[in-house]
Structure 1
């Protein structure tokens, strides 16, 4: 019964699909995403004095911003190969970078090709309804006086506070160049990792309390499901440390000296996020050990009760067996009080044993 229920929980369709999604990583495979009908292209053209926000109807409308004297942020929501190729051809983006933008399951990385800085990493969000970590691949390209971002789902990005800052003339992102915008994008992504981890921490705390109070088969299933989310978390966060470090070591002219110190702050945050993800992974291992300890403790309690009951019934079994033998001469067989004496012994001896067990602290 236990095995059947456990397998039904573990091998549910949801659990198998999640496992397949977590472990299936093949960046060389052709993209399997369904391309949207059209890309949503939003442009922020800003300087110290003014900011202009436009939503473009087609990708060709973004081409003139290549020669804009102001700083420009072009955000593309919804990846269509045709649109990516057109932007790549116009803005001098290398075909290898365009291929990485379209690909699925890429490891976070950064490259500097043809005078552009390319950065690819995962944005994370926590789906509270399903209790899972969702990741979305984001590509960022830094050029001279422009930044281009490519993302799949516009509803999950954490950049709304940054968009609000662009509308404030006194904000640093307005006062500094496109390299500071590049830093700000990375900073918001890394900071949002902590939001996701806070949600996971709540799930871990609830699960720990559940295991302590009443560990059951579903507790082990929840442990396994959370361990899968830790895989997603660690796989997304760990490479970003190397990514930010590569940007700090870069000698590109696109990043001004006054902006370099800000990347050190992002590096500190990603180190902290990486350490937290390691701590959460250790906590999941501890939760599994705690579950097994509770199960063993419960089994020991059951075995202890069964052993005590067996010991208490042993005298009655022995007495009943002796006086139930087929011999003509048995003490007290023909005694008027023989039956009552035997029953009394069957009750008194277990009571004495029970007091002795209690005195020794066996239960």
Structure 2
């Protein structure tokens, strides 16, 4: 799939909403995990299907349903029926190329984000879509494949410290979004380290491989910006939302996430400018190197112009050339050439031309 263009994943003119694809759904069942928790307890279940997860939900406790894998369309369709989730939301959940966004519905709100990771060996960013529907006493979290942010929040739940156990689904949703944004902070930090490493190498020993590295890092920064920039709009929409599932106590925390996103986007802008300046430096250095080579070649050519002139004169096949009969004529000519060449080298050196 192209990384910079989200290809249309359904046929043009087809009905809106989730379309069950039996071929895509076969053999790709989603893995379901359910966490039921309160201040004093935490229970974990692994039901075989989404129908078995429904009876586990308790009125006075927060339920967190985790679904890993987005190709089991039958399971998502059934989930929509059980929890009254709009078919357009279900379509977004199973579309991995969907950009980050926030949507508010009567009985829930929906957020989709991109979990990013950076491979320093390949200088490449990988993405995983994560989505969540937040309801009364329930958060449904969907991911294409396991993500680090999920593990981090789970550890906090098991530790039982802080507000996570007592603040309800609204705070759980905040914790998950915060973990995704924190991961983006880590990724941009790794990219910045890679850029600075290339910059140091360029200053020490410039070589053609640096051009490829700069181009690759520029692509990754653009890709990162493409994935993160919509998050700012999603968080702003969430803050301004009047949804009853966004507690007033979490608004200040979302404002803090927004500050983090703005900080990361500022860092992205700085990295783009730095990479552009590095590219300019590379091209300028290559141009200077070429100018130095041309200067040396020009000096060599200039030195040989008078020498070639003398050699050309005495290389002519005229019968009467007095100098050809001189006993020391050959050595005088060589000496003259050496003196002329030496004088020109001395002059060019004094002028600082090489």
**Is TM (by shorter chain) over 0.5?**
yes
Aligned 8 A contact 2:36 2:57 in 1: no
1:270 is the counterpart of 2:251 = no
Q: Which residue of 2 aligns with 1:103?
A: 95
Partner of 1:312: 303
Tell me the SS of whatever aligns to 2:131: strand
Per-residue CA deviation, residues 26-70 of structure 1 (Å, 9 max, x unaligned), is: 245369996563211111111111111222222212112455320
Among 25, 32, 35, which residue is 2:6 paired with?
Answer: 25
Residue 77 (structure 1) shift: 0.5
Write the mapping of 1:55-204 to structure 2, written as runs, cut at 5 A.
Answer: 55-79=46-70, 80-154=72-146, 156-204=147-195
User: Does structure 2 retain, via aligned residues, the 8 Å contact 1:22–1:231?
Assistant: no
Cα distance change on mapping 1:150 and 1:293 into 2, 3 Å? same
Q: Deviations over 1:188-245 (max 9, x none)?
A: 1001001111221232223223433444443323322222212220111111011101
Q: Could you say which residue in structure 2 is the equivalent of 1:288?
A: 279
CA distance in 1, matches of 2:161, 2:130: 28
| C-alpha distance in structure 2 between counterparts of 1:98 and 1:88, whole Å | 7
How high is the TM-score relative to the length of structure 1? 0.88
Q: CA deviation at 1:134?
A: 0.4
Shift of 1:184: 0.6
Q: Paired residue for 2:270? A: 279
Q: What is the rounded CA distance, in whole Å, between the counterparts of 1:209 and 1:21 in structure 2?
A: 32
The CA distance in 1 between the partners of 2:169 and 2:331, in whole Å, is 100
Is the 1:27–1:106 contact (alpha carbons within 8 Å) kept by the matching residues of 2? no
> What's the counterpart of residue 314 of structure 2?
323
> What is the deviation of 1:329?
4.7
**1:116–1:142 Cα contact (<8 Å) kept:** yes
For residue 90 of structure 1, report the CA deviation from its aligned partner: 0.8
CA root-mean-square deviation: 2.1
Q: Which residue in 2 is equivalent to 1:253?
A: 244
Q: CA deviation at 1:129?
A: 4.2
**Conservation of the 8 A alpha-carbon contact between 1:173 and 1:180:** yes
Residue 165 of structure 2 aligns to a residue whose secondary structure is helix
Please, which moves more after superposition, 161-170 or 116-125?
Answer: 161-170
Does the 8 Å CA contact 2:68/2:144 hold for their aligned counterparts?
A: yes
Q: Match of 1:137, SS?
A: strand
Q: Distance in 2 between matches of 1:205 and 1:120?
A: 32
TM-score, L = length of structure 2: 0.90
User: Matches of 1:189 and 1:116 in 2, distance apart?
Assistant: 21
Q: Any idea what the Cα deviations from partners look like across 1:243-265, whole Å, max 9, x if unmatched?
A: 10111111111111111110010
Q: Which runs of 5+ in 1 are unaligned?
A: 1-19
In structure 2, how many angstroms separate the alpha carbons of the residues matched to 1:242 and 1:44?
30
Give the conservation status (yes or no) of the 8 Å contact 2:123–2:216: no
C-alpha distance in 2 between matches for 1:194 and 1:170: 24
Q: Distance in 1 between matches of 2:255 and 2:4?
A: 32
Per-residue deviation, residues 58-102 of structure 1 (Å, max 9, x unmatched): 221211245532011111111111111111111111111011111
Measure how far apart 1:328 and its partner are.
4.5
Give the match for residue 218 of structure 1: 209
| Among candidates 318, 323, 332, match of residue 341 of structure 1 | 332
| CA distance in structure 1 between the aligned counterparts of 2:57 and 2:35, rounded to whole angstroms | 13
Paired residues of 1:168 and 1:174 also in contact (CA < 8 A)? no
